[in-house]
Amino acid sequence: MTTLSHGVKLALVTGAAQGIGLAISTRLMEMGFSVAMLDKNPDVIDAAQLLSGNKGRANGYVLDLSDLQSVHSLSGLIGESFQNLSVLVNNAGISPKHQGRKRLFIDIPLDEWQRVMDVNLTANFLITQICLGPMMKNREGRIINITSQAARTRTPIPGAHYAASKAAIAGYTRILAGEVAEWGINVNCIAPGRIESKMTEEVGSDINTELAKSIPLGRLGKPQDVAGVVEFLVSENSSYLTGMTIDVNGGNFMA
Ligand SMILES: NC(=O)c1ccc[n+]([C@@H]2O[C@H](COP(=O)([O-])OP(=O)(O)OC[C@H]3O[C@@H](n4cnc5c(N)ncnc54)[C@H](O)[C@@H]3O)[C@@H](O)[C@H]2O)c1
User: Is 57 within the bounds of a domain?
Assistant: yes
Rounded CA separation 244/174 (Å): 7
User: Is 190 within the bounds of a domain?
Assistant: yes
Phi–psi pair at 15, nearest 5 degrees: 65, 45
pLDDT recorded at residue 1? 52
Q: 74 C-alpha to center of ligand 1: Å?
A: 19
Place 2 in a pLDDT band, splitting at 50, 70 and 90: confident
Asked if residues 26 and 48 have their Cβ atoms less than 8 Å apart, the reply is no
Q: Active-site residue 162, yes or no? A: yes
C-beta of 226 in contact with ligand 1 (< 6 A): no
User: Is 255 within the bounds of a domain?
Assistant: no
pLDDT recorded at residue 54? 63
Q: 254 C-alpha to center of ligand 1: Å?
A: 23
Q: Which atom of ligand 1 is nearest to the CA of 67?
A: 31
Closest CA to 170 of 157, 188, 194: 188
Tell me the HSE value of 201 on the side-chain side, using a 13 A CA sphere: 6
- Tell whether the model's pLDDT for residue 220 goes beyond 70: yes
Mean per-residue pLDDT over the chain, rounded: 96
User: Is 107 within the bounds of a domain?
Assistant: yes
The number of domains in the chain is 1
- Tell whether the model's pLDDT for residue 186 goes beyond 90: yes
User: Is 122 within the bounds of a domain?
Assistant: yes
C-beta of 154 in contact with ligand 1 (< 6 A): no
Q: 251 C-alpha to center of ligand 1: Å?
A: 22
- Which range of residues forms the domain containing residue 207? 3-248
User: Is 253 within the bounds of a domain?
Assistant: no
C-beta of 37 in contact with ligand 1 (< 6 A): no
- Tell me the DSSP string of 124-141: HHHHHHHHHHHHHHHT-E
User: Is 254 within the bounds of a domain?
Assistant: no
Residue 124 sits in a domain whose CATH number is 3.40.50.720
C-beta of 192 in contact with ligand 1 (< 6 A): yes
User: Is 61 within the bounds of a domain?
Assistant: yes
30-68 pLDDT, tens per residue? 999 999 999 999 999 999 999 998 666 999 999 999 999
pLDDT recorded at residue 7? 80
